[in-house]
Amino acid sequence: MTRALSTNTMESTSLQPASAPAGKFLSSFLIITVTICILISPGYIFFSERGGIGFIEGVTVKQLLHLIFPFFGLYAFTLVWGQIIIGTCKPLIKKIFPGIGRFHRLEGIFAFIFALIHPVLLIGSLGAVTYLKYEFVGPNKKIFVLLGVTALLLLIVTVTTALLMRLPWLQKRWKKLHYANYAVFILVFIHSWNLGTDIQGSPLQYLWMFFAVSAGLGTLYRIWRAIVKRRTAMSAQSATASEPTNSLNPPNS
């Protein structure tokens, strides 16, 4: 009977490791599939709303720049959302994708590139004077353009600090500066929601709502982790501080 029990134990133990790789593979597959769908959505909706790529045929260079600049804005915000989700949920994602940190930095660079191309194309289509005077929007919309410019400046700071984080004076500061990405997300959301014609009245508004809700939940999760970590550290510190006092007290006879 003992031999039978040991045999059953060995069989059950041998079956357990197999479920872990299978679960990890399924999680990886689901995350990658959802990510691809999210990344495809802005571009698919952008071109679908315009009937394909035919809308760029027979146009001048300036007209072309004006027609495609929203495309880069849509993807800039999508990638900024990705930055927030990865940053807030990194401990969970790292269990499935150990190299997520490197991808996070690379994605941040692409978010910056798309965010920079977005206004550059608009300036190229309108001219610098018209752009700087914000004459391409109504008086009540100028504030939303300014929010977009502010977000771009903050993004320049976060990307630069991430690239130079190994410098001695940035090693202890770059993470704090990186929190500006949350402000970037909020500013770009307000900017695109109020100015983006592709979002107003299109399926993208639901994707934008999903971005806002998921980023908010991710931020709450990160705050919760910080609170738990702080409480754990304080408990450990209190236990360590009480040990010398207890060791000095003689045991009761």
Examine the pLDDT at 132 and tell me if it is beyond 60. yes
- How is residue 52 annotated by DSSP? S
pLDDT digits (tens, 9 = 90+) for 207-252: 999 999 999 999 999 999 989 988 888 888 877 776 655 544 555 5
CB atoms within 10 A of CB 218: 19
Max avg pLDDT among 96-105, 145-154, 198-207? 145-154
Hunting for tokens 């001048």 — which residue is that? Answer: 60
Rounded to the nearest angstrom, the gap between the alpha carbon of residue 183 and the centroid of all alpha carbons in its chain is 12
**Would you state the structure tokens that stand for residue 142, as one six-digit string?**
């100028």
Burial grade of 38 (CB within 10 A; 0-12, 13-18, 19 or more): middle
Q: Please state, in angstroms and as integers, the Cα–Cα distance from residue 159 to each residue in 40, 131, 150, following that order.
A: 24, 25, 14
- Global pTM value: 0.83
